[in-house]
Structure 1
Amino acid sequence: MSATKHTSKAATTLTTRRLALASGVMLGGLMMATAAQADRSEWPESFTVGTASQGGTYFVYGSGWANLIADELGLSGGGEITGGPTQNLALVHSGDIAFGLTTMGPAADAVNGKSPLAPGLKMDNVCAMFPMYETPFSIAALSSSGITSIDEIPDGATIGFGPAGSTSDTYFPQILEELGVNFERRNGGWNDLGGQLQDGLVDVIAFAAGIPIPAVSQLEVQTDVNIIEFTEEEQAKAAEAFPVAPFTIPASTYSTLDEDANAVSMWNFAIAGCDLPEDLVYEATKITMENNDKMMSVHRSAATTIPENVDKNQVLPFHPGAARWYEENGYEIDPSLIK
């Protein structure tokens, strides 16, 4: 056989192999694409995130997170105004919304059948996704009121506790009663209560929300405000009676503060319906946990929205999709806490 024929035959063989390889790659790619499409076939076309009232951190955080997930996954999604953590648990459990935000106190009540919205119903279709931040319980009053401490809140003062059924409304009245405060209770959205404080219709607002609280920041722009802190004795007494822990509000949080302020706090977690597709929750968790810079652009409180804080949930079962991301990235979760 001539060298020319040998070379031609070799070239033909090489070309055949390349075509076969290319066909295999194309077929493999097609199969992967088909699999990916199949993985998304059970995903909802849109989703809703339960937040809380406007003027609170939940609304800003939840709406911003919804937009991030929607953009990254090519879905339609957004935040919805709700009554806050307690209602979000009920809405996620029932499947009326896909995702929500909650605090560990209301979560513990919900899984134990002690939710004030559904006494006796154990909400077992609510799964944890990722840690958000600690919710400080903080108090604000107009400087003109002369109130500078909890024990200076006058007997019978009207106190705004946020939306009915919210974490603030559920726990803050009990905390203040434990600390010996006698008051009249007022509910409403944070922006509305901020306006009522300025108009003299309420004496104090007792917030439970991530900091900085938008309504407080807005009040600072419009008038002089006192941020009222807990004493160490009051912190200890509250922590002994309720699922809260001592917390420090950094002075940099508000222009009103000259130094750090003592408070108490409770952890928040994002939640999902346990029956949501595993891959959807995995991808949403992955985006959140691997993009803290983007979460920080949503709200400063997201500084603690990091996987190292996954152990702050010992109440709700983790969604299998969320648990898979943590385990793949070296974060251990007690198997008994995985749905």
Structure 2
Amino acid sequence: MRFTAIAMAAGLAVSATAGHGQSLNLTLSGGNPGGLWSLLGAGIDRAAQVADTSAVVTYQATGGGFANIGLLGAGRTDLGLVHDAEAQLALGGEEPFRGPITNMRAIGYMYNWAPMHFFLDRSMAEQYGIDSLDDIAGSGAPIRIGINRSGNITSNIALMMFELVGVTDESLAEAGGQFVRAGANEQGELLQDGRLDMITNGIFINHSSFRAVDTNADVVLLSVPQEVIDATNERFGTGQMVIPAGSYSNQQADVNTVTLGALLAATDAMSDDDAYALTNALITNIDEVRAVHSAMQSLTPELLATPSVLEFHPGAARAYSEAGLSQ
């Protein structure tokens, strides 16, 4: 993988986008080095190279989806990985964006299986009779709830889901609890140390941070009311997913919840030829992307072609149409 780390405060070099008849030469903005998105960058680069040995997809490490949307909106990157929920906020010009960003176009849906999890300490759940997210507000439990840091889309989603069931900063404070901002691995450590009672995040089932919590702490996975799922999906353009029974030690039943997805996005400035060539490379060499991580085994050409909050780039749409994939 061609890898370039960048500082967000510094100016970004705009890559030379390949013209008609030339090999792809694109820049892809992803996330932190070593994370799943950097692995996806490697897989996308490899898929392009298998299709054309002269093709180059250069990966840039950034602050994540919100940063990538800013770069796409300013025309300072060719491609970006973004969550569907982040793109939805950008289209409406909502925080953290200062106005609508409407030049983004989808190349393909990379995954849609990062469900929101809500783990609660089992002793507290049993003491206060909490089985579902909507049991919290009326329970009087002094719950210290870990949510992701500001700037991470899962924190936006979690806060809305809690608000929908009447759990707010004020209601938690009245009961002696609070929201605590912490990253995924930090949340697990704080729960195990007894400094949190509940954690929430939107990551793959049995992600390493969740496995650590399940192994080292006694927790239950709370159910989510359907009306909360529906309202959240309408707001953020997210989806619904089942966390199968038995995924975690104390989970006796299936749990329906909200799930995040990630898109590979370009802008309307990308040529139709480049978008077509890249999309074709992903369709025909999808095993190169699946191979980057076990979590990507469910990726299919059909998923790539799944409609999302972003309309497809015309070049990508042509590639899917020629491949017989519905959109």
The bucket for the TM-score relative to the shorter chain is 0.7 to 0.9
How far apart are residue 207 of structure 1 and its match?
A: 1.2
Picking from 50, 68, 82, the partner of 2:43 is: 68
How far apart are residue 239 of structure 1 and its match?
A: 5.4
Change in CA separation of 1:138 and 1:272 when aligned onto 2, cut-off 3 Å: same
Cα distance in 1 for residues equivalent to 2:159 and 2:223: 16
How do 1:167-186 residues align onto structure 2 when only pairs under 5 Å count?
167-182=153-168, 183=172, 184-186=178-180
Picking from 110, 130, 138, the partner of 2:108 is: 130
Mapped pair 1:227 → 2:221 = yes
Cα distance in 2 for residues equivalent to 1:249 and 1:240: 20
- Residue identity over aligned pairs, in percent, reads 25
Picking from 86, 90, 93, the partner of 1:113 is: 93
2:201 corresponds to: 207
Change in CA separation of 1:188 and 1:101 when aligned onto 2, cut-off 3 Å: farther
Q: Is the 8 A contact 2:149 2:155 kept in 1?
A: yes
Q: Which moved more, 1:232-241 or 1:259-268?
A: 232-241
Deviations 1:226-260 (A, max 9, x none): 22222446545655776455421123644553442
Letter in 1 for 2:90: A
Cα distance in 1 for residues equivalent to 2:78 and 2:145: 33
How do 1:12-23 residues align onto structure 2 when only pairs under 5 Å count?
none
Alignment RMSD: 3.4
Q: Pick the structure with more helix per residue.
A: 1
* 1:251 alignment partner, SS class: coil
Cα distance in 2 for residues equivalent to 1:293 and 1:285: 14
Cα distance in 2 for residues equivalent to 1:310 and 1:192: 33
Mapped pair 1:330 → 2:319 = no
How do 1:9-158 residues align onto structure 2 when only pairs under 5 Å count?
38-40=21-23, 43-44=25-26, 47-51=27-31, 59-60=35-36, 62-72=37-47, 73=49, 75=56, 77-78=58-59, 80-82=61-63, 84-114=64-94, 116-119=95-98, 121-134=99-112, 135-146=114-125, 148-150=131-133, 151-152=135-136, 155=141, 157-158=143-144
Q: Is the 8 A contact 2:42 2:292 kept in 1?
A: no
Change in CA separation of 1:315 and 1:299 when aligned onto 2, cut-off 3 Å: same
Q: TM-score, normalised by structure 1?
A: 0.70
Q: Which segments of 5 or more consecutive residues in structure 1 lack a partner in the other structure? A: 1-34, 334-339
Deviations 1:270-317 (A, max 9, x none): 212333454444343334333444433334443553333456435323
Q: Is the 8 A contact 1:51 1:100 kept in 2?
A: no
Q: Which moved more, 1:236-245 or 1:225-234?
A: 236-245
2:284 corresponds to: 290
Structure with bigger RCO (C-alpha 8 Å, 6+ apart): 2
How far apart are residue 64 of structure 1 and its match?
A: 1.6
Change in CA separation of 1:273 and 1:234 when aligned onto 2, cut-off 3 Å: closer
Q: Is the 8 A contact 2:44 2:57 kept in 1?
A: no
Deviations 1:13-36 (A, max 9, x none): xxxxxxxxxxxxxxxxxxxxxx99
Q: Is the 8 A contact 2:136 2:167 kept in 1?
A: no
1:268 corresponds to: 262
Change in CA separation of 1:227 and 1:289 when aligned onto 2, cut-off 3 Å: farther
* 1:51 alignment partner, SS class: coil
Change in CA separation of 1:242 and 1:107 when aligned onto 2, cut-off 3 Å: closer
Q: Is the 8 A contact 2:190 2:196 kept in 1?
A: yes
Q: Which segments of 5 or more consecutive residues in structure 2 lack a partner in the other structure? A: 1-17, 50-54, 173-177
1:14 corresponds to: none
Letter in 2 for 1:185: F
* 2:159 alignment partner, SS class: helix
Change in CA separation of 1:96 and 1:185 when aligned onto 2, cut-off 3 Å: farther
1:321 corresponds to: 315
Cα distance in 2 for residues equivalent to 1:254 and 1:43: 43
2:11 corresponds to: none
How far apart are residue 208 of structure 1 and its match?
A: 2.0
Q: Is the 8 A contact 1:133 1:210 kept in 2?
A: no
Cα distance in 1 for residues equivalent to 2:44 and 2:264: 13
Mapped pair 1:187 → 2:181 = yes
Q: Is the 8 A contact 1:281 1:322 kept in 2?
A: yes
Cα distance in 1 for residues equivalent to 2:295 and 2:179: 28
Paired residues, number: 288
Cα distance in 2 for residues equivalent to 1:296 and 1:256: 30
How far apart are residue 130 of structure 1 and its match?
A: 0.8
Q: TM-score, normalised by structure 2?
A: 0.72
How far apart are residue 173 of structure 1 and its match?
A: 0.4
Letter in 1 for 2:80: G
Letter in 1 for 2:25: W
Change in CA separation of 1:38 and 1:53 when aligned onto 2, cut-off 3 Å: closer
